[in-house]
Chains A and B, each alone.
Chain A
């Protein structure tokens, strides 16, 4: 597990700043070596020894599932890069501006060879604060990239006013309330905020509260930036997310106070929770049928579940039709045994999902 190479996926519309972030990651003195997979239309001038050009080839799996697509070029390139194992610690994949992140993510769950040697770390989406709202109007790809992201950089903040920024953030939150959002100029962000996130690691599903804007004081960023000890950093994040729950909620009120509520017409997040323990047989039957039938509409899903007579938390995550789940750890005595699930998707049948989830309660 620990020797799997982490892979960070950079998405974002043309001109948002993907190459800027890439070069920033590569040039900072963090001691890590990256192999970089760039798209063939990408800008030149990437400062790394191991740069591979990819032409994004989307392959449908021959299993009757239309949304079950993988990036064939990634399978090939990752296999080839493994010949040079030891020459790099992590991989960064830069996608084209129009790319759908789902096939990239699915590659890590569908292809056993890729999954054995690498793990998806996070999908990082860079948004241009001046043009994002226009792109959300005219480009379903831009919307997918926001919806899919674990980390979103709202970049080029120097080109817009504070009021505009708040509106951009409201649009981002309307589509994806769960990603970490950072405001940046020229993609200046501590590297630890974009790589080494473990966003797809089941053990890292800690809570499913919507996240609010992270306005770190510079000293805090600095500490993060120079922290190379992954274990330590995780502990730190953990404390940050759980221990400061109150202040996060306070920040929520501040952040939302001055904002008009934005509702996105296409993409919504649906969060459901219940205190009633769930019946595992009912739940698995329901969720598998749901993703089999509605998979194309469900971009991402996550859940923390409390099953009847089960001392362990069960966690799962999904990309379209692909689900990955496991027992995580025993419920703690001070923890509320509550089941929460979250879906981000396009035109999801909300009422049917609510009803289906309610029917999973143990008798």
Chain B
């Protein structure tokens, strides 16, 4: 498939290719060192100078990753949770007693870590000992609230909001179906899940009011909040879907904005950390930068290399890391 539209401006000559050689599960920046988490065993680190280092982190498939700017946390089918820093030092965070798959990991603002194996979610606060919570089905996703030690645990028929340090019982947000992926709005007022069906579901935490966000062609795998926190950008359609979260009602009673229509499915999204711009990856390997105000497009990478599976910005928003299903990866300097 080729990009047949009239030629938008292009950044493609600024790509520095990275030899990943395996499907890329996730990308992250550890200060200015880019980390590419591969499907098996390895995290590839690329310094700003271009020096590459392959670090063997897991003994098998890597299932999930999350980063806090200093280290990338990964979970594997070897039952281990690992932390890898920019120097290439990999540290064991936890090993599941039954060697179950680590399906999800999450990092909090305050140095807290979370992971899940089967129906069990675990939290490691920056200080203090590990806590665990068992929910009614396999955990579908984990997300820390932007403030305080509070974890959203997505599962079958809803989300459990858990305060690991509090005595109070976890709070249940119920909605039928399987919730595979969860995010808090940056202001902490909303929780949104990606469902097994091609739909999102949201709750306004103040009153538990439901938000049904439907109309997708496919399951939503990627969700990210705009720099100002007022929009949720998602994959799952042939265009970038942008749900409005400005004001107290969020998207209740409003439809999404749809930007950059193509004939290809969006499968990865990463919003710029400072500006109203999103990096959007497509099923055919194309990568666009899309201005959220007016939908203006800039080609960052032409199609090829398989579906884009990983996108990350550095903190200043001057560099973009990408990775794809068939092992293509690279860095783009803006």
Q: Which residues of A contact B (CB under 8 A)?
A: 52-53, 55, 57, 59-63, 70, 72-73, 75-77, 80-85, 111-113
Contact = CB atoms under 8 A, between A and B. Distances in A.
Contacts of A113: 219
Interface string B25-65: 10000000000000110000000000000000000111100
A61 B197 contact: yes
A83 B176 contact: no
Given A59-B177, A84-B60, A111-B196, 4 more contacts: A60-B176, A62-B196, A62-B197, A85-B39
B284 interface: no
A57 B63 contact: no
B177 A83 contact: no
Given A60-B177, A61-B196, A72 B219 contact: no
Closest 9 CB pairs of A and B: A62-B177, A83-B61, A83-B39, A59-B178, A84-B61, A62-B176, A80-B63, A62-B197, A72-B178
Contacts of B40: 83-84
B156 A72 contact: yes
10 contacts: A52-B101, A57-B137, A59-B137, A62-B176, A62-B177, A72-B196, A80-B63, A83-B25, A83-B61, A84-B39
Contacts of A59: 137, 156, 177-178, 196
B138 interface: yes
Contact of A80 (B77, B118, B175): B77
B297 interface: no
B236 to A, nearest CB: 11
- Among A63, A76, A85, chain B packs the most CB atoms within 10 A around the CB of A76
A75 B100 CA distance: 16
Interface in B182-212: 195-197
Interface residues of B, number: 25
B103 interface: yes
A57 B197 contact: no
A85 B327 CA distance: 12
Interface in B2-27: 23, 25
Interface string B57-93: 0001111000000000000010000000000000000
A72 B61 contact: no
B218 interface: yes
B118 to A, nearest CB: 7
A75 B101 CA distance: 14
A62 B100 CA distance: 28
A57 B137 CA distance: 8
Nearest to A110: B196
B178 A83 contact: no
B101 A63 contact: no
Interface in B147-199: 156, 175-178, 195-197
A55 B61 CA distance: 20
Contacts of B23: 82-83, 85
Nearest to B98: A53
A81 B63 CA distance: 9
A313 B217 CA distance: 30
Nearest to B178: A59
Contacts of A57: 137-138, 156
A75 B63 CA distance: 13
Nearest to B137: A57
Nearest to B118: A55
Nearest to B195: A62
A72 B177 CA distance: 10
Contacts of A55: 118, 138
Contacts of A60: 176-177
B116 to A, nearest CB: 11
Contact of A112 (B60, B101, B156, B218): B218
Contact of A72 (B77, B138, B218): B138
Contacts of A72: 137-138, 156, 178, 196
A2 B118 CA distance: 32
A112 B219 contact: yes
A69 to B, nearest CB: 11
Contacts of B218: 112
A147 to B, nearest CB: 27
Nearest to B100: A53
Contacts of B138: 55, 57, 72-73, 76
B40 to A, nearest CB: 6
A249 to B, nearest CB: 46
A131 B60 CA distance: 41
B299 to A, nearest CB: 26
